[in-house]
């Protein structure tokens, strides 16, 4: 910069010297009688200095015009101090533009991250007007992206629980309220939490807790059901114990009471065993896809156990027909598959009169899948129950289920095992005519022997 100033002084002085020489020369050659040579030189210096200033001012005006209009080009200013000022301003503007573009990019990245959040995010100004919200918040509260910006949040969300939360002005915790899409048939529950921050603004976070609340309700129902299921045989047992203690019974009566007590104890045992099976199914890793088990071996065992169950329950040889294609293997856990298959066979035996037929079949399908079917001619199930049969403790006929040693957990176990083996359970039934339960295993878990 100092060199530019020295150059400026030098050019100004040089122009004046040249003006003085020109004045002196003109006076000497053309107008000797007009003025003395000194005066002419002085006049030449003043006029050239004036011209220099006019030219300088014109450059300054060009720079000023350029700054005012924001043109991209600054032409005709030359390399002097005005040119340098132009260059520097240009560089400053470029640096500034780059910084603005960078922060714009950062802001966009930041907003994209907030947009990707699974939680609803709403930014509110000091008057609780909506400044920005993400897609999730828009679906939680039913906001429209353009229409609802700068609207008062409280005008759009008129839920009484939320209004009370705002009125209390205590944002330590959250408030739970229904979401926009909430209906009686399909409830949607939101947890909304306001976090105030600088300048009276606040950040509102919303989270869909419907599944969490449902899981909580299911857990409570489950505990209540288990307690109820255990309490019933326990009450019966303790009643018998009291009777045995207080009454003097003969041998036959004692025998009868003891066998009834044994039955109740057995019920509790099967309940606990089914509960343990379910919890193992939930907690253990998925069945392997490279360990193959022979289904015909499992079904041989099931047939044997089925005949035994039928004999114990109905005291009669069952009409059990097994049609099993040999050699088919399933990738998975043998114990789980046995439990699923035997639950279906056991149910068919328990819900079918002993003079009717139960047909169990296992065969490979043309598409590479394999189908396990248990078809009975039993009591059947009314259509309204079919969708709920795999719920834990759901029973159509409570007394028949209990009398035949049911726990209400059998089909829940079957569904779990099927899901874990990428298989699908289907149920079809006609009241009074019989039911068909089938499990279809996908080709990925089925190995069929090659026909030679
Ligand atoms: P449970 O131990 O009571 O049999 P499940 O979960 O195995 O429990 O079955 C649920 C309900 O489905 C049973 O209580 C019964 O009402 C009905 N059910 C299951 N299998 C059959 C079947 N083969 N025929 C008629 N009803 C059945």
Ligand 1, atom 21: closest residue by C-alpha: 347
| H, E, C per residue of 69-130 | HCCCCCCCCCCCHHHHHHHHHHHHHHHHHHHHHHHHHHHHHHHHHHHHCCCEEEEECCCCEE
pLDDT of residue 298: 97
Ligand 1 atom having least distance to the Cα of 378: 24
Cα atoms found within 13 Å of the Cα of residue 97, Cβ hemisphere only: 6
Query: How do the pLDDT tens digits run along the chain, 452 residues long?
Result: 677 788 888 889 999 999 999 999 988 888 877 778 888 899 999 999 999 999 889 888 888 888 888 766 777 777 778 888 888 888 998 999 999 999 999 999 999 999 999 999 999 999 999 999 999 999 999 999 888 999 999 899 989 999 999 889 899 999 999 999 999 889 999 999 999 998 889 999 999 999 999 999 999 999 999 999 899 889 999 999 998 899 888 889 889 989 989 988 988 999 999 999 999 998 889 999 999 999 999 999 999 999 998 888 887 755 899 999 999 999 999 999 999 999 999 999 999 988 899 999 999 999 999 999 999 999 999 999 999 999 999 999 888 787 777 899 999 999 999 999 999 999 999 999 999 999 999 999 999 987 65
- Is the shortest distance between the CB of 381 and ligand 1 below 6 Å? yes
From the CA of 231, how far away is ligand 1's center (Å)? 21
From the CA of 240, how far away is ligand 1's center (Å)? 29
Tell me if 45 sits within 8 A of 22, measured CB to CB.
no
Ligand 1, atom 11: closest residue by C-alpha: 395
From the CA of 271, how far away is ligand 1's center (Å)? 15
Antiparallel, parallel or unpaired: β 357-364 and 370-376: antiparallel
Is residue 317 packed enough to be buried (19+ CB in 10 Å), middle (13-18) or exposed (0-12)?
Answer: exposed
Tell me if 176 sits within 8 A of 89, measured CB to CB.
no
- Is the shortest distance between the CB of 435 and ligand 1 below 6 Å? yes
Residues 195-219: b if buried by 16+ CB within 10 A, e if exposed: eeeeeeebebbbbbbbeeeeeeeee
- β-partners of residue 440 are 371, 424
Separation CA 132–CA 68 (nearest Å): 35
- Is the shortest distance between the CB of 411 and ligand 1 below 6 Å? yes
DSSP 123-156: EE-TTSBEEEE-HHHHHHHT--TTTTTTSBHHHH
In this structure, how many other beta carbons lie within 10 angstroms of the beta carbon of residue 388?
Answer: 11
pLDDT of residue 28: 86
- β-partners of residue 373 are 361, 438
Ligand 1, atom 13: closest residue by C-alpha: 395
- Is the shortest distance between the CB of 410 and ligand 1 below 6 Å? yes
- β-partners of residue 361 are 323, 373
Ligand 1 atom having least distance to the Cα of 396: 16
From the CA of 9, how far away is ligand 1's center (Å)? 108
Ligand 1 atom having least distance to the Cα of 413: 6
Angstrom distances, CA of residue 138 to CA of 218, 302, 345: 29, 55, 50
In the sheet that 292-294 helps form, which strands lie side by side, from edge to edge? 292-294, 329-331, 446-447
Tell me if 159 sits within 8 A of 151, measured CB to CB.
no
Q: Which residue, 79, 81, 22, 12, is CA-closest to 50?
A: 12
- Is the shortest distance between the CB of 318 and ligand 1 below 6 Å? no
Ligand 1, atom 8: closest residue by C-alpha: 408
From the CA of 415, how far away is ligand 1's center (Å)? 13
If one residue of 392, 398, 401 were mutated to test the ligand 1 pocket, choosing by the most ligand atoms within 8 A of its CB, it would be 401
Separation CA 429–CA 333 (nearest Å): 29
Domains in the chain, please, with CATH? 2-105 (no CATH), 117-208 (3.30.450.20), 214-284 (1.10.287.130), 285-452 (3.30.565.10)
Location of structure tokens 């991209």 = 72
- Is the shortest distance between the CB of 438 and ligand 1 below 6 Å? no
If one residue of 395, 404, 439 were mutated to test the ligand 1 pocket, choosing by the most ligand atoms within 8 A of its CB, it would be 395
Tell me if 150 sits within 8 A of 131, measured CB to CB.
yes
Element (H, E) at 334: helix 334-350
Structure tokens at 423: 């298989």
Q: List CB contacts of 409: < 8 A, sequence separation 6 or more.
A: 271, 274, 275, 277, 278, 392, 393
Structure tokens at 73: 């080009």
Element (H, E) at 61: helix 37-69
Separation CA 295–CA 142 (nearest Å): 52
Q: What share of the chain is helix, strand, coil (3-state, %, to 5)?
A: 55, 15, 30
pLDDT of residue 72: 64
From the CA of 112, how far away is ligand 1's center (Å)? 51
Query: Alpha helices, DSSP H only, in 170-294?
Result: 210-246, 251-283
From the CA of 426, how far away is ligand 1's center (Å)? 14
Antiparallel, parallel or unpaired: β 357-364 and 319-324: parallel
Ligand 1, atom 3: closest residue by C-alpha: 408
Q: List CB contacts of 277: < 8 A, sequence separation 6 or more.
A: 339, 409, 413
């Amino acid at each position: 910069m100092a060199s530019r100033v020295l150059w400026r002084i030098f050019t100004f002085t040089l122009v004046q010297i040249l003006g003085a020489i020109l004045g002196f020369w003109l006076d000497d050659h053309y107008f000797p009688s007009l003025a003395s040579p000194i005066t002419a030189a002085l006049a030449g210096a003043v006029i050239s200095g004036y011209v220099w200033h006019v030219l300088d001012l014109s450059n300054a005006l060009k720079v000023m015009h350029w700054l005012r209009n924001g043109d991209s080009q600054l032409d005709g200013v030359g390399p002097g101090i005005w040119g340098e000022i132009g260059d520097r301003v240009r560089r400053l503007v470029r640096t500034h533009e780059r910084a603005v573009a960078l922060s714009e990019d950062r802001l966009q990245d930041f907003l994209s991250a907030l947009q990707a959040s699974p939680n609803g995010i709403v930014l509110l100004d000091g008057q609780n007007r909506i400044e920005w919200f993400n897609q999730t918040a828009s679906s939680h509260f039913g906001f429209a992206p353009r229409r609802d910006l700068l609207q008062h949040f409280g005008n759009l969300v008129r839920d009484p629980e939320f209004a009370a939360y705002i009125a209390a002005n205590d944002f330590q915790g959250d408030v739970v309220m229904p979401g926009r899409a909430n209906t009686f048939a399909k409830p949607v529950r939101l947890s909304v939490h306001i976090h105030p921050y600088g300048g009276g603004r606040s950040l509102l976070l919303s989270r869909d807790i419907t599944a969490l609340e449902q899981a909580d309700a299911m857990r409570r129902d489950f505990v209540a059901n288990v307690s109820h299921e255990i309490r019933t045989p326990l009450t019966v047992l303790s009643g018998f114990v009291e009777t045995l203690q207080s009454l003097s019974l003969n041998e036959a009566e004692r025998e009868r009471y003891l066998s009834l007590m044994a039955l109740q104890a057995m019920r509790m045992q099967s309940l606990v065993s089914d509960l343990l099976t379910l919890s193992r199914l939930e907690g253990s890793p998925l069945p392997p896809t490279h360990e193959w088990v022979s289904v015909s071996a499992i079904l041989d065992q099931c047939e044997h156990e089925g005949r035994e169950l039928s004999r114990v329950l109905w005291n009669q040889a069952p009409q059990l027909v097994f049609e099993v294609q040999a050699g088919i293997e399933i990738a998975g856990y043998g114990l789980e598959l046995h439990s699923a298959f035997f639950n279906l066979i056991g149910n068919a035996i328990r819900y079918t009169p002993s003079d009717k037929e139960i047909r169990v079949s296992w065969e490979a399908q043309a598409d590479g899948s394999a189908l396990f079917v248990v078809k009975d001619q039993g009591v059947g199930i009314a259509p309204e129950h079919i969708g709920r049969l795999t719920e834990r403790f759901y029973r159509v006929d409570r007394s028949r289920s209990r009398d035949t040693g049911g726990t209400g957990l059998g089909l829940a176990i079957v569904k779990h095992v099927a899901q874990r083996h990428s298989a699908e359970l289907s149920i079809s039934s006609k009241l009074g005519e019989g039911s068909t339960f089938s499990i279809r295993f996908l080709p990925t878990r089925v190995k069929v022997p090659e026909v030679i």
